[in-house]
Amino acid sequence: MVIDEIVSHESVAPGVFRLSFYEPRIASHAKTGQFVIVIPLETGERIPLTINRADPKTNIITLVYQVVGKTTVLLSTLQPGQKLHAVLGPLGKPSHIEKLDKTVVLVSGGLGAAIILPEMYAFRAVGTLVVSVIGARTEDLLLFRDEFERHSDRVLIATNDGSCGVKGFVTDALETYLQEHASEVAFVKAIGPNRMMEAVTKIAAKYNLPTYVSLTSIMVDGTGMCGSCRVSIHGKIYHVCVDGPEFLAEGIDFTELENRNKRFQEMEKKAYETWCQ
Ligand code: FES
């Protein structure tokens, strides 16, 4: 098999795809929480994606991504047997996984479920109890629900329309859980939209619990050189690509991060519209 050859590529929810490819150089030493930068085609942009699964036996890397613009649309058209133009990784620091006497609460929204899923497996593998809180707009948009239900010690679900679990947001399900169980919890980890992670951080703080988050930012080199992925924490600059992507959430300037992540939005929109014509 050729390096970076796609072995499977399928839709797992509307606009969300699971991509697996042969990459022995990365599969052999990737750790939970690390990411890769994918350039799907020679003319494509760089897409940073957290590794959903790295199998050192088969040398297969699996990523889950959402179609959001021209490059991800192009990526979604690639078929098994085709080759990705380039893949860089594994990048970033691995997530901190350890055996704890208390429960870890993993909160994810939307595509965050694909990123937090390997953390759920890793904590369970070392014997730490995991409560997973998953959410989406509607029941059919809940990602990897079966896997969370089969492998977490407990699963709490929230949907905006109430079609499954609590009607509302993951923050509502989290708050209800912490009201009764905060003393059993070591920490909360949240992965999803910036506003969701910020809200989770505030709720956990009410119960004196720390929150860890995994940040997403626009990346170029992925090695700490360009400054594209910078984030302010307590007024100090960090780089998501080399200092993260996992950070203790207290002090993160989520508003600045959100604004920085939107800085090419207009250009991306135009590029997509031009390409569609
Ligand atoms: Fe360039 Fe992080 S992507 S510094």
What mean pLDDT value characterizes the chain?
A: 94
pLDDT band for position 71 (50/70/90)?
Answer: confident
The complex scores an ipTM of 0.99
Task: Measure the CA–CA gap between 174 and 108, rounded to whole angstroms.
Answer: 11
- DSSP 8-state code for residue 146: H
Domains of the chain and any CATH numbers: 6-91 (2.40.30.10), 103-261 (3.40.50.80)
Residue among 36, 47, 221, 231 to mutate when testing ligand 1 (max atoms within 8 A of CB): 221
Q: How many residues does the chain have?
A: 277
pLDDT digits (tens, 9 = 90+) for 110-167: 889 999 999 999 999 999 999 999 999 999 889 999 999 999 999 999 999 999 999 9
- DSSP 8-state code for residue 138: S
pLDDT digits (tens, 9 = 90+) for 220-259: 999 999 999 999 999 999 999 999 999 999 999 999 999 9
| Angle in degrees, 0-180, between the axes of helices 194-206 and 170-181, rounded to the nearest 10 | 20
CB atoms within 10 A of CB 42: 7
Q: Are 262 and 193 in contact (CB under 8 A)?
A: no
Task: Measure the CA–CA gap between 56 and 68, rounded to whole angstroms.
Answer: 30
Q: Which atom of ligand 1 is nearest to the CA of 225?
A: 4
Instruction: Answer yes or no: is 164 a known binding residue.
Output: no
pLDDT at 234 (0 to 100):
96
Could you tell me if the CB of 239 is within 6 A of ligand 1?
Answer: yes
pLDDT at 198 over 90: yes
- DSSP 8-state code for residue 168: S
Could you tell me if the CB of 227 is within 6 A of ligand 1?
Answer: yes
Task: Measure the CA–CA gap between 29 and 255, rounded to whole angstroms.
Answer: 34
Centre of ligand 1 from the C-alpha of residue 271, in Å: 23
Could you tell me if the CB of 244 is within 6 A of ligand 1?
Answer: no
pLDDT at 211 over 90: yes
pLDDT at 20 (0 to 100):
98
Q: Name the residue at shortest CA distance from atom 4 of ligand 1.
A: 224
Task: Measure the CA–CA gap between 159 and 137, rounded to whole angstroms.
Answer: 5
Task: Measure the CA–CA gap between 26 and 20, rounded to whole angstroms.
Answer: 13
- DSSP 8-state code for residue 85: S
Q: Are 116 and 141 in contact (CB under 8 A)?
A: no
Q: Which atom of ligand 1 is nearest to the CA of 227?
A: 4
Q: Name the residue at shortest CA distance from atom 1 of ligand 1.
A: 226
Task: Measure the CA–CA gap between 202 and 190, rounded to whole angstroms.
Answer: 12
